[in-house]
Amino acid sequence: MQQRRPNQIITLVKKEILLEIRQQYTFYGIILYVAYTLFVIFLSMGQPEDKIWNALFWIVQLFVCVNAVAKSFLAESKGRMLYFFTISGARDFILSKIIFNLLLMLTMSMVSLLLFILLLDNPLNNVPMFIGITCLGGCSISLVFTFLAAIAAKAQQQAALMAIMGFPIIIPQLLLLMKIATPAFSSVVQEGWWQMIGLLVVLDAMVVLLSFILFPFLWKD
């Protein structure tokens, strides 16, 4: 007798968390990557201007997501995937991946923000606002790359396909996040700020919807 759907999803999320805790190389590897990157930036330019600080933060988030989130499907063997599909549905599986990757990316985004503040000073005028935007941006980037990783995992050259599909899609999103984060560096909120937030949320909802619709067809074989 199969478990009810919420229990299946929770079980799969717990599985992902336990694997990450046991391996740990992804978490510590990304922390070292961010720390080394920021140290080199500090040595080369010192304290960057607000716009450069903002741009660097989101660019680093992009590569953090590529290294942390995008590899989630690549670690799954075909036999393991078949086993998961026999005990749960495809939509349960993709939802568990989405939830775990959101949690992982939120954690990595907060760690990255802390390292940015420690190593490159704190130019933020409104820290709580930037933390909220960081959470929203981390979720958005995570959703995109989770969806792309699910598609790329069926191909032979996963890394190349991720880069080809991912960067044209994520660049407009990064530019949007940079604009949304700009008011956190000053006390002025530009016109249309809430509309940009709404646009980002709509894009996230579309990615989740596409994942639910397409994933069962991509993996049914």
When divided into structural domains, the chain yields a total of 1
Q: What is the pLDDT of residue 156?
A: 56
Q: What is the pLDDT of residue 188?
A: 76
Please determine, for residue 2, whether its predicted confidence score (pLDDT) is greater than 50.
no
Distance, CA of 209 to CA of 114 (rounded, Å) = 32
Residues of the domain holding 207: 5-219
Q: Is residue 42 classed exposed, middle or buried when 0-12, 13-18 and 19+ CB atoms within 10 A define those classes?
A: middle
pLDDT for 70-92, tens place per residue? 667 766 666 666 676 677 777 88
Q: What is the pLDDT of residue 146?
A: 86
**Higher pLDDT, residue 67 or 209:** 209
68 — phi, psi (to 5°)?
Answer: -95, -55
This prediction's pTM: 0.86
Rounded average pLDDT over 101-108: 91
**Higher pLDDT, residue 7 or 160:** 7
**Higher pLDDT, residue 102 or 20:** 102
pLDDT for 151-201, tens place per residue? 777 665 566 667 677 778 888 899 999 999 999 988 777 788 889 999 999
The rounded percent of the chain whose pLDDT value lies above 90 is 24
